[in-house]
A and B are shown apart, each in its own frame.
Chain A
Amino acid sequence: MNEIIADVLVVGGGMAAGWAAISAAKTGARVVLADKGFMGTSGVTAPAGPNHWWVPPEAELRKAAVERRLESAFGLADPVWMERIIDITWQSIPEIAPWYPFSGDGKGGTFRAGLRGPEYLRALRQYATKLGVTILDQHPVLELLARQDGSIGGVAGYDRLNDRPWNARTGAVILATGGCAFRSGLLGSHNNTGDGYLMGVEAGAELSGMEFCISYSISPLWLSTRTLPYTGARYFNAEGQLLSIPGWDKPRDYLCKLADAFRAGPVYADLHEAPAGLPAVVREIQPATVAAFERRGLDMFQDRFEVKLFGEGTIRGIGGLRIVNDVCATSVPGLFAAGDAATREHIAGATSGGGAQNAAWALSSGVLSGTGAAHEAKKRRKTLDRSEKLKPLGGAGLRPSGAVKAVDRKAAIQTAQKETLDLDKALWRNETGLKSSASLLDKAWSEIRTSLHGEKLETVSARETAAMVATARWCNASALVRKESRGMHVREDYPQQNPDYQSRIITGGLDRITPYLEKLRTTEAVS
């Protein structure tokens, strides 16, 4: 088997992965980017079009932007990190000008804050290629490989188009695998199955903020789309009565009222009161959203349509791999995390950063991890080509601990999805419900860990299944430990915010999950 040699290997193919590869390649490092799908269409940015947190380099403006955001971070964000990502974002986006068709801002200038997904990812791909990055499409990474000293020295994966395994020996690895929406149907999230969380934890890394995974986006029942058209939507019940639903400026109230409505029956929407300027430009801004209606034979601005809330999990949630320094290193030497694969608490605290802030994070954490990983890899360069034996770290789905048996993967994924995203469970958490979820998820995990194994291409979905169930367990266990309500995490049994919990919940572990409050540094096992 041919072994790929690289200084830095980036796992993933979205915004964070793209910027990580670019930033590492700028230092002169040999960079390989391996994506499960195609760098250009993979992940949630590609079919979308993110606005970025965009504040000009004027001290007062930036200070005000950070202060405004700190107010809704519930004490868990860091102003230094916020300033850092605003600045990196501002400096980086203009770099893609040779490959991105920037246009006007309506005021005679150039609009750079927002970028349309397919063109953005295409530009990152071209920029990375120009800098010498090797891009491996359809090359899912299945597991990390460790050196004798425990640091990360490579990856092993499966080449989907040629139906054969592949591996790489590298100086450092960046996990930019995105978040996990548990196959909710959320647009672009089908391959965001939490792979990076699982691989990271198997290597000994920790997660942070996994309890903050309560976020949903509204779409037509039959297809998740971007949500621009629906911000002004009117909602109706099955009898055609207009429902009283708060605006998106009150996200919690909006979600709870909609959840009430869904409990009573199907919910419908129309766009009769959408902004007057929207119909003329929506086809340009979000072509795929128009297609969702047009190809169903509907007039999106006239017809009433049934809607659904699609769970975003940790995508618009906040948690992810814990990072331990300002170049997005995890606690495992040689392993870095960027984008939704990393925790975004530093910039968002306990409420969603929304698209703009998350986009700035994906970009900036990509840039920072790229620099950090390249630096780390340089130290390893002399030893890189030697044939030190690397230890494969993958467990669940790859190396079952017991006899291989057929596992109902669909049922396992459904359990992960339901226990994490079900509206009633998620919006009103309590000890009893979380414990019952824990027991169902533990059972699913135990079966996967003991018996699940896939041959050849099936290995990919076996690992995805394991990663989704593992992610659901970390989310649930973290929610159990946070015995208060803070930001998007709301406990029925602890409705108040409690100053004792003004700290991050760190978790990790596989068969036994070990969440603890960061400031206490003591492990509290969940039984």
Chain B
Amino acid sequence: MITEILPDRCNSCNACVVVCPDHVLDMAKDGQLPVIARPDQCQTCFLCELYCSEDAIYVAVDVPRSELKNDPLGNIRRDYGWDGHEEDPLKNFWQLGGLLREGVMISSARHALQQSDDKESEKKI
């Protein structure tokens, strides 16, 4: 859930208010901060962070930022490559399908093995 809009970073551009798919925020007025008006509608999709050019938003996953060993502020934009540090942010995206299928094969093979083990132990009994 979105928990923080950092006053020292936010430039009141209201981009987060517009991009939120679930209308969690109300417009900043007179240079103030946007208001987290309907936090119960936040689905923790992190997309407001992605669209915040100032890294002024933090979407928490239950744990406050201060309790984490490494501060994840700005990680979403950096990981998506929207901060400009990475020239080719999708260079490994082609691996998606192969990795999905590999995982399926792993779980399928594990299950087959478990079943044959079960049969073995039944025989012993």
Contacts and interface: CB of A to CB of B under 8 A. Distances in A.
A295 B61 contact: yes
Given A103-B88, A275-B106, A291-B72, A49 B93 contact: yes
Contacts of A295: 59-63, 65, 68, 72
A119 B81 CA distance: 10
Contacts of A248: 103-104, 107-108
A245 B68 contact: no
A111 B96 CA distance: 11
A228 B61 contact: no
B61 A37 contact: no
A38 interface: yes
B115 interface: yes
Contact of B92 (A273, A284, A287): A284
A231 B96 CA distance: 12
A296 interface: yes
B45 A111 contact: no
Contacts of B23: 37, 138, 160
Given A137-B18, A288-B45, A290-B79, A275 B96 contact: no
Contacts of A118: 47, 50, 80, 82
Interface stretch (A72-80, A187-195, A494-502): A187-195
A386 to B, nearest CB: 34
A356 B100 CA distance: 12
B95 A285 contact: yes
A56 interface: no
Contact of B107 (A229, A245, A277): A245
Nearest to A107: B94
Interface residues of A, number: 70
B24 to A, nearest CB: 10
B96 A114 contact: yes
A246 B18 CA distance: 43
A231 B104 contact: yes
B82 to A, nearest CB: 8
A292 B92 CA distance: 21
Contacts of A104: 91, 94
B47 to A, nearest CB: 4
A47 B99 contact: no
A400 interface: no
B107 A287 contact: no
A232 interface: yes
Nearest to A183: B43
Interface in A211-262: 222-223, 228-234, 242, 244-250
Nearest to A112: B94
Contacts of B95: 106, 277, 281, 285
Interface string A355-393: 010000000000000000000000000000000000000
A125 to B, nearest CB: 11
Contacts of A188: 21, 43, 45
B52 interface: no
A106 B90 contact: no
Interface residues of B, number: 59
Contacts of B10: none
Interface string A30-44: 000000111011110
Interface in A150-201: 160-161, 185, 187-191
Given A114-B94, A296-B63, A231 B107 contact: yes
Given A46-B45, A161-B17, A191-B22, A285 B93 contact: yes
A244 B111 contact: yes
A38 B19 contact: yes
A185 B17 CA distance: 21
A425 interface: no
A102 B90 contact: yes
B8 interface: no
Contacts of B59: 291, 295
Contacts of A189: 43
A152 B17 CA distance: 32
Contacts of A275: 99, 102-103, 106
A49 B96 contact: yes
A499 to B, nearest CB: 31
A232 B107 contact: yes
A425 to B, nearest CB: 24
18 contacts: A37-B20, A37-B23, A38-B21, A47-B45, A47-B46, A101-B88, A103-B91, A106-B95, A114-B96, A137-B19, A138-B23, A222-B61, A228-B99, A231-B104, A234-B107, A247-B108, A248-B108, A281-B92
Given A116-B93, A246-B111, 6 more contacts: A41-B51, A119-B90, A191-B21, A228-B96, A277-B102, A297-B69
